[in-house]
Amino acid sequence: STMLPLLLLLLPAAHGIAQLGYRPALTRSPPLEGVTTASTFVVDQPRCIFKDYGNAVIWLVVALDRAASTFNNTAGPGTPETAFQRFPDPVRAYMTLNATLGSYPCPKPDGDITVLRVGSETSCAQDASRPTCNGPLPGPGPYRVKFLALEGSVPVAETGWSVPITLRKAEPPSSISTTGKGHSADMVVITTLLSILFAILLAALVATLFWGSDSCGGSSTFSKPESVTVRRYNTHHVYDQPAARL
């Protein structure tokens, strides 16, 4: 009997959360490199989605796929119940990337970046004083995300959950192809054979040169050129002449 009044009190709050006809999704325009990696993924910003909630703070909720349906919208951001550092166990969903409506202007100004990379902060991943850290995701997932607007601590609007998002898996060393190593070994063999052939050809060339020099006129004799003697003349007439008188 005591539970019924509590449920009646919670019903208005539950019905007060507006369900917006929007689902976050991996970005497609413009095409980007690394839309999904082993620890991050990129979604579009919710432009023109929360335009009726100018006083709200918009949060991104990241949840394990199997836990999305049980997420409690009244769980406050920055609490142990939604802390990134406790994700994925025991926390099954965390809140991050808070922004005011001014961060998502509508329409989009030219040149604005309209995507969010989830999992891009590494500096706060182990920092319990930053429970809303946008830290690297701990595994391939799958994950689901949604945007939730809070006015103060009261949830007022939310989007639908995204479809499951699976990240790339890091390949174990045993699965890495050794084809490239085979090519390297072949190149080593070819290089060795070419080096041997080059050495043989060089030896044959040297032998041919020496053999040819011996066959042309027998032994070669080199005569030492005679030294050239330069006689020194002492010009006595120059030094013995008396100085000219003026």
3, part of any domain: no
Buried b (16+ CB within 10 A) or exposed e, 174-188: eeeeeeeeeeeeeee
Over residues 156-167, the pLDDT tens digits come to 999 999 999 999
Over residues 74-102, the pLDDT tens digits come to 999 999 999 999 999 999 999 999 999 99
CA distance 238 to 217: 56
Q: 6 versus 133: which is more confidently predicted?
A: 133
241, part of any domain: no
Q: 62 versus 4: which is more confidently predicted?
A: 62
138, part of any domain: yes
So what's the pLDDT on residue 215?
Answer: 55
194, part of any domain: no
Buried b (16+ CB within 10 A) or exposed e, 90-121: ebbbbbbbbbebeebeeeeeeeeeeebbbbeb
Question: What are the angstrom distances between the C-alpha of 226 and each of 30, 80, 232?
Answer: 89, 105, 19
pLDDT range class, residue 43, cuts 50, 70, 90: very high
187, part of any domain: no
Average pLDDT over residues 51-74: 96
So what's the pLDDT on residue 209?
Answer: 74
High-pLDDT (> 70) share of the chain, %: 70
108, part of any domain: yes
Question: What are the angstrom distances between the C-alpha of 45 and each of 83, 143, 162, 209, 213?
Answer: 22, 17, 13, 79, 85
In this predicted structure, the answer to whether residue 207 has a pLDDT above a threshold of 90 is no
* pTM given for the model: 0.65
pLDDT range class, residue 202, cuts 50, 70, 90: confident
Q: Which domain, by its residues, includes 41? A: 18-170
Average pLDDT over residues 177-203: 70
**64: its two tokens:** 């394990």
Average pLDDT over residues 39-56: 95
Could you tell me which of 41, 13, 7, 1 has the C-alpha nearest to residue 152? Answer: 13
pLDDT range class, residue 171, cuts 50, 70, 90: low
95, part of any domain: yes
So what's the pLDDT on residue 35?
Answer: 94
149, part of any domain: yes
Could you give the number of structural domains in the chain? 1
So what's the pLDDT on residue 211?
Answer: 67
Neighbours of 155 (CB within 10 A): 22
